[in-house]
Each structure stands twice: as C-alpha cells, then as structure tokens.
Structure 1
C-alpha cells in the first residue's frame, strides 16, 4: 500500500522506515506495534486506580494536551501542508458516506427504542466519532507513515465542523423546538475557539505564506508537540478510570457500530463507490476503526444527556479496539 503523498514533516523524516508496516509480519506484528500506545492508556488507568495520579489532575492534563501539546503537533504538521494536500473530495465523500450510513442506522435503532431526539443524537455521535485527535493522529502517523497525516486531518476537520455542529443543533433544536441564531452563534464561536481548528488554520496560513520555519520556533513546537502522544494516551487511560459500565447492552451496540460497522461502511465507500487512492483509503478506514472519542462524553455531560451511556461506550470500545484496530490496520496494509 504505497503512500500517494509524503509531506516532509519536521522531525518525522525517519518515520517511514520505522512506521512502514510490512504485510509479512501480519496482524501479530501490527498488534505489537500498537501495544505501546494501549499500554500507555493502561498505565494512566492503573495510576488513577492506584491513587498515584489523582482523578482531578486528569482534567488539567487533558487541558495541557488539548490546548498546548496537541495544538503544537497539529501546527507543525500543517505548516508543511496546503489545503490542497488535505482536501480530497473523493476521500471526504467516502468517509462521509460511511458516517451517514452508520449515523442513520444508530438513529433508526434509537428511535425504534422510543428514545427522545437528544439521547438518540448522542448515541449516533458515539457510533461515528472516533478518538482521532488524541489517539489517531499519533498512532496512525507512526504506523502508516507521515503521509497519513493529510487524510487524518481531513477526517478531524469533518468530525469537528460537521458532526460536532450537528449534535449541538439536534439537542438545542429539540429543546427549543426551533433553530435560532443563538444556536448558530454558539456553534461558530465554539469552532473558532477550538484549539485544534486554530492550530491547523495557523499552520496552513504559515505554509501558504511560504516563509521558512525559524529554527527556534521549529524546535519549540517539536519539543512541545512530542509531549502530545504520551500525555494524550495517559490522559485517555486516566479518564477511563472514572467511567461507569451502565447500560452495557446499549454501550455494546454502539461499540459494535464504531469498531465494526463504521470502518466497514467507510471501506465500502472508499473501495467500491468512490475512486479513493488506495493509501488514503487505508488511512480513513483505519481512522474509522478508532474507539469512541472522549469529547462525545464532554458534550453529553455538558447537556446532561445520557453521560453514563457514553461513558460505558468509550470504556468498552477502547478495550476491544486493542484487537480490532490491529485487525483493521493489518487488513488495509494488504490492499
């Protein structure tokens, strides 16, 4: 599965040699490569359970990663890319196709259980939004090579702009009975304040300017960005330590949607319906196999809509993704 594009990312010139996953190693080899990522998650989980790392500190660690370390990593990545490198209509169409199919299915199942619009919207969000920022960016870039960052950023943009906005519209619209300018203003302000969006916009602007990256700035964002991977994975595990396992039947269904149906539908879109480059298809299928994102829980908790259900879905999907992600990546590397 040779990559179609290979942007020269600062500090990642040796990744291709390290990250290229050979088909000869099979799923076992890929599992061993993903194991350190999940081991860091387990370490965060164990640290909180053993009371070595206080649960309250998880909030501040997550903020550090979200506002600083991950933002530095995304800025460094996008500073060597253009919008044309990221925006691929066929790739975006294939990913959106898979999301819409699974979102509609989860919505139909939720409505069949006679749930309200708010709860159904949260469940549908669990079914299609993966942990792309904290887990997908570092892990898939390492496993599939630096060229994976462009399609990963495309997926991240779609999740942030389309689906994060959609859940706010559905919940607030259901409560108010109509759409208002206030809702649109809230969505717009939220997007403008999102550090991932801001850092990507700044990186793309820098790239468009054609200005060389000063060595001190490059060293600074590299040093800060390198903290994103261990910090994010430890924070994921620490946050899981407080997750409940209520509504296991629903959480199991939503985890199945996210880990199995979502990558399967994205694969259908990428490999059959849309003319997607083979490498990009492998990346977006792998990204679709990621477990439920933590920001879904943040939204559910903020609006007071089924947070325990989302919590259980994150816990179960993350646990089973240790195996399913390896299987999916093993399959896409043989395309």
Structure 2
C-alpha cells in the first residue's frame, strides 16, 4: 500500500528535480522561463482540463452528503485563512487569496488518485474522483471571485476615492467570469447542461492539452525552486504546510464524523483527501497574480516531502473511528 504512494512521491520529486536542474543551468534561457511556463499552464492547458472535467460531471449520481462533509470545512478554513491574512495588513492585495488557496488546495490527482486506489480500492476511488471533479470548480472559483474583488477595490481606491460600489461590483463580476479558470468551468457546466457529446476531435484535443498539466506543473515547481530557493520563504511555507497537512484534515475529520455522521470508508477517503500536500494549482494561482510565488513553491515542496510522514498518521487516526 505505502510502496505505491512512496513510488509516486519519488516520481513527483524526480520531475521537480529535473525542473530545478534545468532552471539552475539556465537551459531554457534567462528570461524568467518559470513565468512563461506558468502562463502557458494557466491560459492554455489548465482551462482545457477544467472544461473537459466539468463537462463530464454526472451530477445525478453525486454523493452529496459525503461531498458536503469535505467541502464545507475546506471552504470554511479557506475563507478563515483569507480573512486572517486580510486582517494582517501590509500584504500585497492578492496575497490573502494566494495563501488561502495554498493552505487548502490539495494534490488530489497526481498523489490523491493513486493513494485512493492503493488504500481504499475501487469503492474509495469512486468517492475520491467525485471530490476531484468539484475540487478546482469550488476552490478556484471562490478564491478568484475574492481576489478580483480585492483588486477592484484597490483600483477604485487608487483611481477614484468616491468610485461607485456598483461599478466596482461590475468590474469584479466581469473579471471573475472572463477569467482563464472560471470561464472554462462555466463553459463546461453549460455544455454539461446541454447534454450534448463533445465532438471526438475536440475531446481528443482537450485530452492532450489536459495531460500536459501535471508534468508541466511539476517542472514549473522545479524552475521556481531554482529561482527562489527555500530559505527566503521557509517560515511562511512551514505555516501553510502545517495548515494543509495537520489542521485541514483535523477539521474535516471532526466535521465529517461528528457533524455529518460519516464513518468507515467514506470518512477515511475525505480525511485522506484533505490530508494531501499542497497542489500545483497554488503556484499557478500565485503566478497569475505575481505574488507569494516563492512561498507557494516552497509550501508545495515541503508538504510533499512531509506527506510521507503525515499520511500514515492520519490513516491510523481514522482507523480508530471505524
């Protein structure tokens, strides 16, 4: 069981190391290749993956109670981190949203899917896949709306102290909808509602673009590590990693078991999904708004290494509640 996860961790870190070496050697040039790669992922490859995923969701068969047991505490913690960071003051406008996504967005695909298969079999995988199908849709949409509202408020403050609230809200809505994350999600949901099959050629294009997301993001993490290192952002990265690996699964465990009455397989799957290390989308989100990039990169790397220790601990905890 754990050998599968360990092999997956080693493979992930191996690709990250390749990106790191390439970045240190400057083989992609010296004009910020990490940012170029990040923009390519954000504007081309991730939208393709999101559209195809949301267009294929089967809402009628969703285990809504189990999903609520996962997403209610996750979104609650995400909003709490956002509010806490906003109250600190002195941070860049987009920093609260970036830190909130880093503290809650897990690596549900590269690590989560093989973990679910190895630990819980097909029954557990089916629950995990439903979480994956709504993961980016829920977290990225909420955080995008919040960060765009903050940016609109800042633009209004700098440009016109008496800017109309309605104008600010319209600006927020426009930038939230016409966004490389939210727009493909909305388009995918609309296509899903139509019930029409995706043309075979288009679907194959989306598959090929979507398959590039994982290796591209892992190389991107390596490039970013080469550029920023770990020391400069170590303190923030450790805090965010603890929130993701310790606090989030604890909150999901409490809410899922005592709030929603989950036990057995369903509880184990949602807790382990919450216990996953920081996902690559945190870095892509940080690069989109050009803030906290070093911190997000370090948090992804640190939490991925630490997951080898925290995963067995959480498995033991949930096994005591069966």
User: What TM-score results when the alignment is normalised by the length of structure 2?
Assistant: 0.73
The residue aligned with 1:66 is 42
Matched, 1:271 2:257: yes
Contact 1:35/1:322 (8 A) holds in 2: no
The residue aligned with 1:156 is 136
Of 270, 279, 286, the residue aligned with 1:297 is 286
Contact 1:40/1:230 (8 A) holds in 2: yes
Of 35, 38, 41, the residue aligned with 2:16 is 41
Report the alpha carbon displacement of residue 228 of structure 1 after superposing the two structures with TM: 1.8
Q: 1:105 to 1:212 in 2, by over 3 A?
A: closer
Compare 122-131 and 72-81 and name the one that shifted more: 122-131
Matched, 1:116 2:103: no
The residue aligned with 1:319 is 301
Distance, in Å, in 1 between the alignment partners of 2:44 and 2:153 is: 33
Report the alpha carbon displacement of residue 48 of structure 1 after superposing the two structures with TM: 0.5
Compare 240-249 and 50-59 and name the one that shifted more: 240-249
The residue aligned with 2:247 is 261
Q: 1:312 to 1:154 in 2, by over 3 A?
A: same
Distance, in Å, in 1 between the alignment partners of 2:152 and 2:109 is: 31
Question: Structure 1 runs of 4+ off > 6 angstroms?
Answer: none
Matched, 1:286 2:286: no
Of 71, 78, 85, the residue aligned with 1:95 is 71
Report the alpha carbon displacement of residue 40 of structure 1 after superposing the two structures with TM: 1.4
Report the alpha carbon displacement of residue 49 of structure 1 after superposing the two structures with TM: 1.0
The residue aligned with 2:184 is 199
Report the alpha carbon displacement of residue 124 of structure 1 after superposing the two structures with TM: 7.1
Contact 2:74/2:248 (8 A) holds in 1: yes
Of 145, 149, 168, the residue aligned with 1:165 is 145
Q: 1:187 to 1:152 in 2, by over 3 A?
A: farther
Aligned with 1:211: secondary structure?
coil
Aligned with 1:129: secondary structure?
helix
Distance, in Å, in 1 between the alignment partners of 2:164 and 2:73 is: 25
Compare 172-181 and 226-235 and name the one that shifted more: 172-181
The residue aligned with 2:28 is 53
The residue aligned with 2:102 is 129
Q: 1:154 to 1:86 in 2, by over 3 A?
A: farther
Distance, in Å, in 2 between the alignment partners of 1:152 and 1:271 is: 21
Q: Provide structure 2 residue ranges, at least 5 long, that are not aligned to the other structure.
A: 118-124
Distance, in Å, in 1 between the alignment partners of 2:63 and 2:171 is: 26
Matched, 1:219 2:195: no
Superposition RMSD in Å: 3.8
Superposition pairs of residues 74-89 of structure 1, within 5 angstroms? 74-84=50-60, 88=64
Compare 281-290 and 220-229 and name the one that shifted more: 281-290
The residue aligned with 1:228 is 213
Matched, 1:185 2:170: yes
Q: Deviations over 1:225-272 (max 9, x none)?
A: 222221122122222322253364344323322332223222322233
Q: Deviations over 1:45-74 (max 9, x none)?
A: 221011112352323322332222222233
Matched, 1:252 2:238: yes
User: What TM-score results when the alignment is normalised by the length of structure 1?
Assistant: 0.71
Report the alpha carbon displacement of residue 152 of structure 1 after superposing the two structures with TM: 2.2
Distance, in Å, in 2 between the alignment partners of 1:215 and 1:108 is: 46
